[in-house]
Amino acid sequence: MTSTHPAQIRLKNVSLTYDLHLDRTNNLKEFVVNLFTGRKYVSTRKQKINAIDNLSLDVNEGDRLGIIGLNGSGKSTTLKVISGILKPTKGTVEVQGTVQPLIEIGAGFDPEFTGRENIYLNGYMLGFTKAEIRAKEKEIIEFADLGDFIDSPIKYYSSGMSVRLAFTIATSIKPEILVFDEMLAAGDAQFMARAKTRIDNLMDRSKIIVIVSHDMGLIESTCNRVIVLNRGQRVFEGSPEDAIAYYHNQNAKSALGAAPQC
Ligand SMILES: Nc1ncnc2c1ncn2[C@@H]1O[C@H](COP(=O)(O)OP(=O)(O)OP(=O)(O)O)[C@@H](O)[C@H]1O
Ligand SMILES: [Mg+2]
């Protein structure tokens, strides 16, 4: 799946608007009436959210791009646009190279299937053949280290166990472009340490990395370029040190009374 072209990402004037449907009962009276009559006394409001607002971005081979910003500033949405999970409302997205998003981890799991069956299910969804999955199966099972649970339906897994398996499957692919949102917040300390080494190996082999995190230490140690988003717009771009300083400065200002993001 490796192409001979250099990997690159081009976003041109990208905007993405979510339609947020606010369907809710207005007050306690309506709620009680609905409860007893089964009638739908709901007020329907629709609100548009500009999650990304006219963003242009060039990412080239060798870039380790960090995206930082307050909650709701559009970081995850930008990653989903880059990964092709969401289509922009306006603008164009061009991506050259295979992309592996580590974003909604475990989203492709079927709870009724065993861990082992889910390895195959996920593998097929990622475009692998049965033989290719079989070649990875042993390594995945060893790394996820779930013992006999690998042959139990994953509905019986703890959330940490599901994350271990999902993370291991997602990182068994070697993409040219690695895109990840912070998502390792489950798993015990021992697994986290092993997971970090696995990510480091993946990163060494990727041509481009785009990483979203609130962990400034991770951003500083991983990235060579960082953008700061605010309300879906890039408000700063520079070295990790400068971008982190800008971000902290912006947070200090918002703590002094600016409106919250979301
Ligand atoms: N599925 C959705 N439907 C409607 N609005 C959404 C949806 N996903 C995100 N949003 C809104 O879009 C905006 C950007 O969200 P996004 O998840 O990209 O932010 P973020 O920078 O990743 O935030 P965080 O730091 O909290 O992860 C927010 O206002 C959020 O409420
Ligand atoms: Mg996010």
Q: Which atom of ligand 1 is nearest to the CA of 74?
A: 18
Please tell me whether residue 188 adopts helix, strand or coil conformation. coil
Backbone Cα Rg of the chain? 21
CA distance 208 to 223: 10
Measured between alpha carbons, how far apart are the two ends of the chain, in Å? Answer: 40
Tens-digit pLDDT profile for residues 66-78: 999 999 999 999 9
- Rounded to 5 degrees, what are φ and ψ at 2? -80, 130
To the nearest whole percent, how much of the chain has pLDDT over 90?
A: 50
- Reading the block at residue 209, the tokens are 């990395």
- Kindly report the CATH number that applies to the domain delimited by 8-13+61-255: 3.40.50.300
Mutate to test the pocket of ligand 1, among 16, 22, 47, 75 (most ligand atoms within 8 A of CB): 75
Q: How far is the CA of 216 from the centre of ligand 2 (A)?
A: 15
- Reading the block at residue 160, the tokens are 């940490």
Domain ranges of the chain: 8-13+61-255
pLDDT at residue 109 tops 90: no
Tens-digit pLDDT profile for residues 16-45: 999 876 655 556 666 666 667 776 655 566
Q: Say what the pLDDT of residue 30 is.
A: 63
More confident residue, 231 or 124: 231
Q: How far is the CA of 27 from the centre of ligand 2 (A)?
A: 31
List beta partners, residue 122: none
- Reading the block at residue 230, the tokens are 């605010």
CA distance 166 to 229: 29
Ligand nearest to the CA of 67: 1
Q: Which atom of ligand 1 is nearest to the CA of 212?
A: 22
Q: Which atom of ligand 1 is nearest to the CA of 261?
A: 29
Q: Say what the pLDDT of residue 115 is.
A: 96
- Check: CB of residue 69 under 8 Å from CB of residue 230: yes
Give the pocket of ligand 1 (CB within 6 Å). Answer: 18, 20, 49, 51, 69, 71-77, 262
- Check: CB of residue 243 under 8 Å from CB of residue 213: no
Q: How far is the CA of 70 from the centre of ligand 2 (A)?
A: 9
- Please compute the mean of the pLDDT values over residues 221-231 and round it to a whole number: 95
Task: Give the residue, by CA position, lying nearest to ligand 1 atom 16.
Answer: 74
Q: Which atom of ligand 1 is nearest to the CA of 70?
A: 25
Task: Give the residue, by CA position, lying nearest to ligand 1 atom 18.
Answer: 74
3-state helix, strand, coil in the chain (%, to 5): 40, 30, 30
Task: Give the residue, by CA position, lying nearest to ligand 1 atom 26.
Answer: 71
Which residues neighbour 92 within 8 Å (Cβ) at sequence distance 6 or greater? 10, 11, 12, 13, 14
pTM for the model stands at 0.80
H/E segment holding residue 96: strand 90-96
CA distance 98 to 40: 47
